Amino acid sequence: MPYKIISTLIVVMIIFTSCSVNMTNKGFATATPVFVTAPLPADPIPPSTQTATATLETITSVETPITSSVEGIIATQLNVRAEPSTASETLGTIDQFTAVQVIGKDASGSWLLISYPVSATGKGWVRAEFVQVNNATEIAIISGMAGSGTGVSGLVTEKLYVRSGPSTDFDSLGILNPKDVVFVTGKDPSGEWIQIEFSKAVDGKGWAAVKFLQVENSASVPVIGTAEESAEASPTAEIAVQLAMQDGDSMQAPLAETVFSPTGTQILQVSGDLSAPPGDAEDWIKFTPFGTKISMQTICTSENFHVELQRNGQIVEDIVFTCGEKLFIKTTPGQPHYLRLQAISNIVPQYIQYTLKISMLE
């Protein structure tokens, strides 16, 4: 009998436990079962898409290099040049106190490459001494500017004439000023003359005396011609004279003009050339002073030219210039003044390059 009771109790407990499990599974469970499965593979990228993506990244890294610039302030009205030289093409002028973005400099630090959107390349060169820059050490050196492929450049230390051949007997093609940068293309057998790129020459080349230059790595510069050829190349009595190209300026459309202001522009600097009897024999410059006195100084290759100061259609002063001399001239505040620069025409042809600087004094 006891065994039957015990057996019955065991059966009842089994049935009760089974019912409890079923009730839990059907109505009272809150936890979601966790299933551990292998992750599904990601959608494969077609091979052509993978290749195109890698190529795009490569092209982007090459075509959009990281560049930096430093802000500078122009200290005086300044010419912008196509190359780091006063003999190169003038791209335009920038007024005093204008902010510019400096993106590079030449190896000597004498010239700065700035962003200049109005030029064809969007860039231009200005003299470093006329630009105030706080972080000059951060400006990158621009290399590989020479078109000759020699990779050698030089710095002009004194005002010099560029000649058509390696001797002072050859015709003058123009002048270079201290701190101009030149790109070297060769040297004569004696090593005393360097051939440089010079855009104003017919063939784009000129010669300069080494003693007026600082040339790095001159030993690597190739020799052009032989000593015999240099002697045979001496010019004959008939020498071609360089002409100043007609620039079309006049009193109504001057070569340069500015309005001076106590809080703005106070210095005007203009570079040009004249020739006579053939060529461009005169240039016009217009300025309006705010005071009663200015100073004028001219650096020039010849003193065979004179300057007239005009106001209200009348010549108020006939100025006799000595190259490098500073003159002081009275002016009328608020009135437009005109300078007429003329090459003196005579039997002997004249070619003159000049840089004229006008500064307000009071």
Domain match, 227 and 314 both: no
pLDDT at 134 over 50: yes
pLDDT at 236: 40
Kindly report the CATH number assigned to the domain that includes residue 128: 2.30.30.40
- Number of domain units in the chain: 3
Tell me how far apart the alpha carbons of residues 331 and 176 are, in angstroms, rounded to a whole number. Answer: 32
In a domain, 221, yes or no: yes
**Taking a C-beta distance cutoff of 8 angstroms, is the pair 117, 80 a contact?**
no
Domain match, 269 and 344 both: yes
Domain match, 89 and 178 both: no
Q: What range does the domain containing 313 cover?
A: 256-360
Residue that terminates a domain, selected from 106, 138, 170: 138
**Taking a C-beta distance cutoff of 8 angstroms, is the pair 289, 332 a contact?**
yes
Position 347 confidence tier, pLDDT thresholds 50, 70, 90: low
Residue that terminates a domain, selected from 110, 138, 166: 138
What is the mean predicted confidence (pLDDT) over 59-64?
Answer: 31
pLDDT at 338 over 80: yes
Position 248 confidence tier, pLDDT thresholds 50, 70, 90: confident
pLDDT at 42: 34
What is the mean predicted confidence (pLDDT) over 72-101?
Answer: 89
- The sheet carrying 181-187 orders its strands as 172-176, 160-163, 205-209, 193-197, 181-187, 153-156, 213-215
Tell me how far apart the alpha carbons of residues 244 and 351 are, in angstroms, rounded to a whole number. Answer: 7
Domain match, 260 and 225 both: no
pLDDT at 70 over 60: yes
pLDDT at 120 over 50: yes
pLDDT at 167 over 60: yes
Largest Cα separation within the chain, whole Å, is 157
